[in-house]
Amino acid sequence: MVIFGLGYIGAELARRLLLAGHQVVALDNGFNTPPAVWDDLKSLGDLRFVVGDVADAGAVAEVFRQASPVDTVFFTAAQASAHPDAAPWAYTERTNITGFRTALDLAVGAGVGRFVYTSSIKVHGSRLPARLGPDTPYRWPGDPVHWTQAFNEGLLRDRAERGGLRGVAVRLGIVYGVGPVMRTDPRFMTVVNRFCLAATRGEPLTVHPGAVGYQAFIHLRDAAAGLINAASLPSEAPFIAIPLATGFFTVSQVARVVRRAAGRRGLRVEIIDRASSARGRRPRLDPASGRLLPERSVSLADGIEELLDYWLGGSSG
Q: Where are the alpha helices (DSSP H) in 68-190?
A: 89-93, 99-109, 144-161
* Residue 227 CA, distance from chain mean position: 10
Query: Does residue 69 have a cis bond before it (omega within 30 degrees)?
Result: yes
For residues 96 and 151, give the distance between their C-alpha atoms in angstroms, rounded to a whole number. Answer: 10
* C-alpha to C-alpha distance for 229 and 227, rounded to whole angstroms: 5
**Mean pLDDT for the chain overall:** 92
Asked if residue 299 lies in contact with residue 187, where contact means CB atoms within 8 angstroms, the answer is no
Q: What is the pLDDT of residues 120-169, one digit of tens each?
A: 999 999 889 999 999 999 999 989 999 999 999 999 999 999 987 999 99
Task: Write the class of the CATH domain 178-215+247-276+295-312.
Answer: alpha beta
- Taking the C-alpha atoms of 269, 273, 279 and 283 in order, what is their torsion angle to the nearest 10 degrees? -40
**Per-residue pLDDT, 206:** 94
Report which DSSP code applies to 124.
B
Burial environment of residue 78 by CB neighbours within 10 A (0 to 12, 13 to 18, 19 or more): buried
Give 176-187 pLDDT, tens digit per residue.
999 999 999 999
Tens-digit pLDDT profile for residues 55-111: 999 999 999 999 999 989 999 999 888 888 888 989 899 999 999 999 999 999 999
Q: DSSP letters of 159-204?
A: HHHTTS-EEEEEEE-EEES--S-----GGG--HHHHHHHHHHTT--
Q: Check residues 279 and 32 and name the one with the higher pLDDT.
A: 32
Averaged pLDDT, 259-282:
89
Three-state DSSP class for residue 4: strand
pLDDT at position 285: 92
Question: How would you class 5 by CB atoms within 10 Å of its CB: exposed for 0-12, middle for 13-18, buried for 19 or more?
Answer: buried
pLDDT band at 295 (very low <50, low <70, confident <90, very high): confident
49 residue type, one letter: F
What pLDDT score was predicted for residue 212?
76
Alpha carbon distance 290, 218 (integer Å):
13
**How far is it, in rounded angstroms, from Cα 22 to Cα 70?**
12
pLDDT of residue 279: 66
* Rounded distance between C-alpha atoms, residue 97 and residue 281, angstroms: 34
Residue 211 has pLDDT above 90, yes or no: no
Q: Which H helix or E strand runs over 130?
A: none
314 C-beta neighbours (distance < 10 Å), count: 7
**Structure confidence at residue 32 (pLDDT):** 77
* C-alpha to C-alpha distance for 279 and 41, rounded to whole angstroms: 44
Question: For domain 2-175+216-244, is the CATH number 3.40.50.720?
Answer: yes
Residue with more model confidence, 280 or 37: 37
Residue 278 binned pLDDT confidence (cut-offs 50, 70, 90) = low
Domain definitions of the chain by residue range: 2-175+216-244, 178-215+247-276+295-312
